[in-house]
Structure 1
Amino acid sequence: MAETPLAVLSLSLCLLLQARAASLGGSRGCLGDSECCTPRELERAQARLGKGSPPGPQHCPSSPQPPHRDPHCQGQAHGPPNSRSVAPWRYREDCDSTRFPRLLLQAECLCPHCVSLEPPHGRDRRGNSVRIDANTTVYYRRPCPGRPDAFYLEPQLYPVAVACVCVLPRS
């Protein structure tokens, strides 16, 4: 018995949908307002998206951290790369309870200028310290239209400051 192209297409589509359901752990994708999910299904989708992320809950701090610029801007000979850099930075928490992941770390330049490589590692005003951003995809929890008990995840590109570098000033 010869199979028609429509039968082959239907079988392929069924197999594809079964594979997708298995990869989602039995839950739907919750991506887009056409795939509304209960809060429990949304948690499963977020857990699936977070594979490879640090385990445990991500809580937002009660008050945002103020921006910090060190008026002394001194380089260090020891420590992690962000403190030994000629454009030192620290990480601050960027938290949003409607976003997944809720917590992102953003690099924050500590000095407006570069730090000299020569001891005593003070300011070098010949260069400026600037952030380097990289875009990552985050997911925002949105209410489903007409369903107050259901939500979906909306993907968006989000800039994350990953480090600071020393550059020549613009002329």
Structure 2
Amino acid sequence: MEWTGVQMISIWSLLIQTSSAAAGGSRCLSQDEVNQRVKTSPWEKLNYQNLLKETNLSSCADAAKQMRGEHRKRALSPWTYSLNEDQDRIPRQIAFAQCLCDGCIINQEVNLSYNSVQVKTWLVVLRKTRCEDETDKYKLKKELIMVPVGCTCVLPNFKK
């Protein structure tokens, strides 16, 4: 379930990246035209609410006790999702992973000898900006943003 959403994001990123028409080129768009692009965007079909509802872990201690279900719930570095919203971005909503633990869960106990860190990937989005000459119109520009998609367990960095 989780990977399907990530794969969909990756596929649509490639489509957006390769299609200059998707970004509106250098043409200024009215607010109605921008809204139409948002409505027809495949991003709007993604339902993050189910993903957010499924998260019944509220702490690292909860995760250490349960350790069953989806990958993110039984990982050594479990994570939950929060919704990142930006009205000037397409997609307007993106699920961001948040690590539940500082350390890692080893034998159902938190071990601070290890670190939980976010796994991140680049995502191409469209950023809505005002046109210089026509302040009631907008351009859609491609932008790369870093999105946390999960967490993993690593050895800490030690200074020599």
Same fold by TM-score, threshold 0.5 exceeded? Answer: yes
Q: Percent identity?
A: 26
Flag the 1:144–1:54 CA change in 2: closer, same or farther, 3 A.
Answer: closer
Higher relative contact order (CA 8 A, sep 6+): 2
Aligned with residue 91 of structure 2, among 101, 108, 113: 101
Aligned with residue 153 of structure 1, among 128, 140, 144: 140
Number of corresponding residues: 130
SS at match of 2:72: helix
Residue 135 of structure 1: CA displacement? Answer: 0.5
After superposition, the CA RMSD in angstroms is: 2.7
Residue 140 of structure 1: CA displacement? Answer: 1.1
Higher radius of gyration, 1 or 2? 1
User: Structure 2 CA distance, aligned partners of 1:57 and 1:82?
Assistant: 18
Structure 2 unmatched runs, 5+: 1-18, 49-56
The structure in which a higher percent of residues are helix is: 2
Flag the 1:73–1:54 CA change in 2: closer, same or farther, 3 A.
Answer: same
User: Structure 1 CA distance, aligned partners of 2:114 and 2:123?
Assistant: 28
User: Structure 2 CA distance, aligned partners of 1:96 and 1:81?
Assistant: 28
Letter in 1 for 2:87: S
Correspondence 1:45-56 to 2 at 5 A: 45-48=37-40, 50-51=41-42, 53-55=43-45
Structure 1 unmatched runs, 5+: 1-23, 59-67
TM-score if structure 1 supplies the norm length? 0.66
TM-score if structure 2 supplies the norm length? 0.70
Flag the 1:56–1:108 CA change in 2: closer, same or farther, 3 A.
Answer: closer
